[in-house]
């Protein structure tokens, strides 16, 4: 099964894609996580991407496309995968199409003000990149990851002014993909407001109604 999770920054794509990945035993391919790993490892690719990410802009297509192409060709993607954060513009969508048909695009919708609030409270693990929220899904021990004990930190691009820029980038570059996938009849919209569990149930219902599980 090949799934795409699409939506604005902070809509809960990573949270839901990680849950789905566990439930369906499919790898989650999160381009944001892959880029942050490159940045923290100090690679050439990371150095090139960092400035764009810090400003809330899209990293150039040639970097992202090569990264995704290479990742989906790996053995663990043979049964399928869940794309989180890719595609983000029409050029990326065309490349994905050339790689083979997707079964479903789950469009998680959320408004700008909700997203700004959510991202202000987000904390991520420096080691394994697990995601928490100070209010909505707090870690068991203050400042420590439940899964690996790593230190939690606030992403640099979660400052309000950068979140608003990311949202603007999303509206301009990524939102047109909603119509694109709607026209192909492979898009299902899931309301991103509600608890993490409620949204997860809605996604399960959607997968069932499409005969995918
Ligand atoms: P990326 O890391 O992909 O950021 P994003 O798309 O902006 O998404 P986020 O990770 O911020 O949010 P999310 O929707 O995953 O929400 P989450 O589940 O964490 O990309 C970062 C940057 O990399 C981009 O700006 C760009 O520069 C670059 N990049 C990445 N991919 C690219 C591409 N394809 N092309 C070009 N450039 C690319 O949830 C958010 C918070 O809310 C968490 O704290 C969570 O615990 C909480 N939460 C989740 N669900 C709920 C709920 N239902 N109720 C309450 N709280 C909730």
Q: What is the DSSP letter of 142?
A: T
Cα of 11 to ligand 1 centre, how many Å?
A: 7
Atom from ligand 1 closest to the CA of residue 108: 14
pLDDT tens, residue by residue, 127-159: 999 999 999 999 999 999 999 999 999 999 999
Atom 43 of ligand 1, residue of closest alpha carbon: 122
Atom from ligand 1 closest to the CA of residue 36: 23
Atom 48 of ligand 1, residue of closest alpha carbon: 12
Mutate to test the pocket of ligand 1, among 15, 69, 135, 168 (most ligand atoms within 8 A of CB): 15
Of residues 13, 19, 28, 36, which has the active-site annotation?
Answer: 13
Would you state the structure tokens that stand for residue 167, as one six-digit string?
Answer: 């949202």
Q: How far is residue 12's CA from residue 16's CA, in Å, rounded to a whole number?
A: 6
Q: Measured in whole angstroms, how far is the alpha carbon of residue 118 from the centre of its chain?
A: 15
pLDDT tens, residue by residue, 43-81: 999 999 999 999 999 999 999 999 999 999 999 999 999
Sequence-ordered list of residues with C-beta below 8 angstroms from that of 146, at least 6 positions apart, any chain: 130, 132, 139, 140
Q: What is the pLDDT of residue 56?
A: 96
Q: What percent of the chain has pLDDT over 70?
A: 100
CATH 3.40.50.300 matches 2-110+174-209: yes
Burial bucket for residue 27 (CB in 10 Å: 0-12, 13-18, 19+):
middle
> Could you tell me the residue ranges of all domains in the chain?
2-110+174-209
pTM here is: 0.96
Distances (CA, A) of 12 to 15, 102, 166, 191: 5, 20, 15, 10
């Amino acid at each position: 099964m090949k799934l795409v999770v699409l939506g604005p920054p902070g809509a809960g794509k990573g949270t839901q894609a990680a849950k789905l990945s566990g439930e369906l035993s499919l790898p989650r391919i999160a381009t944001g996580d892959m880029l942050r790993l490159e940045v923290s490892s100090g690679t050439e690719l990371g150095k090139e991407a960092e400035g764009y990410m810090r400003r809330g802009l899209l990293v150039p297509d040639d970097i992202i496309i090569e990264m995704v192409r290479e990742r989906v060709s790996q053995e663990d993607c043979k049964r399928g995968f869940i794309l989180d954060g890719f595609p983000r513009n029409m050029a990326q969508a065309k490349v994905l199409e050339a790689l083979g048909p997707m079964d479903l695009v789950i469009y998680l919708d959320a408004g700008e003000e909700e997203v700004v609030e959510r991202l202000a409270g987000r904390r991520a693990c420096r080691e394994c990149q697990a995601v928490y929220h100070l209010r909505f899904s707090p870690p068991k021990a203050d400042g420590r990851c439940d899964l690996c004990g790593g230190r939690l930190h606030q992403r640099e691009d979660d400052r309000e002014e950068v979140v608003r820029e990311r949202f603007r980038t999303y509206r301009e570059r990524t939102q047109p993909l909603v119509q694109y996938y709607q026209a192909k009849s492979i898009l299902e919209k899931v309301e991103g407001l509600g608890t993490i569990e409620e949204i997860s149930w809605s996604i399960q219902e959607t997968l069932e109604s499409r005969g995918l599980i």
